[in-house]
Amino acid sequence: MKKIIQALKENTLDVKILLSIILFATLTRIAIPSFLGHPPNFSAIDATALFCGAYFSRRSMACLVVLLSVWMGDILLSKIVMGQWNLFYSGFYWQYGCYFLITFIGAALKDKVSPLRLASACLTSSIVFFGISNFGVWCSGFLYPQTVDGLITCYVSAIPFFKNTLLSDLFFTGLLFGSFNLIKITLPYNEVKQN
């Protein structure tokens, strides 16, 4: 425990950046729906996963930050939407698995960040989220019969949500990566380093 406290004291800028990322990603899931009439699947979580994967030297820390952001948002949303505190919802592991994989997609960007690579990573992340999360919805058996026709219907019904996922991934990835590069340019090089 002493080593952890010492590391936090020595890396206060890193800790501030981490906490800012967690807060930003969590708030986009709560604040944006209330301001924009709840566009489904429009949040910074995928972009946060890409960012953490690309800039954190330790993948375990990148995954922890992303999953903590998602979990905190889930807890707050369950209280706001359903009026009760839930630590986890049914089938949460499908979405959490998506974010875990998207973090690893971000890790493939490490030291190779460019607009074309970011756009490709966004598209790939959106497809991963669409494919896995909707497969999880179908597997639950609540909305669609567990048949081939049910699976096809599930994916077809989810197509309108894919647009918001892709748009939010592009927007928030540009915002996070662009802001980070601006910070690196603005602050002295030794003050902003990769975690």
DSSP secondary structure, the chain, as one string: -HHHHHHHHHTHHHHHHHHHHHHHHHHHHHHHHHHHT--TT-SSHHHHHHHHHHH-S-HHHHHHHHHHHHHHHHHHHHHHHHSS--S--TTHHHHHHHHHHHHHHHHTTTT---HHHHHHHHHHHHHHHHHHHHHHHHHH-SSS-SSHHHHHHHHHHHHHHHHHHHHHHHHHHHHHHHHHHHHHHHS-GGGS---
Q: Which domain holds residue 14?
A: 2-191
Q: Is residue 125 scored above 80 in pLDDT?
A: yes
Which pLDDT band holds residue 106 (cuts at 50, 70, 90)?
A: very high
Q: Output the pLDDT for position 79.
A: 76
Record the pTM.
0.82
Residue with the larger pLDDT of the pair 46 and 16: 46
Q: Is residue 5 scored above 60 in pLDDT?
A: no
- Number of domains the chain is built from: 1
**Region 111-117: what's the mean pLDDT?**
91
Residue with the larger pLDDT of the pair 15 and 120: 120
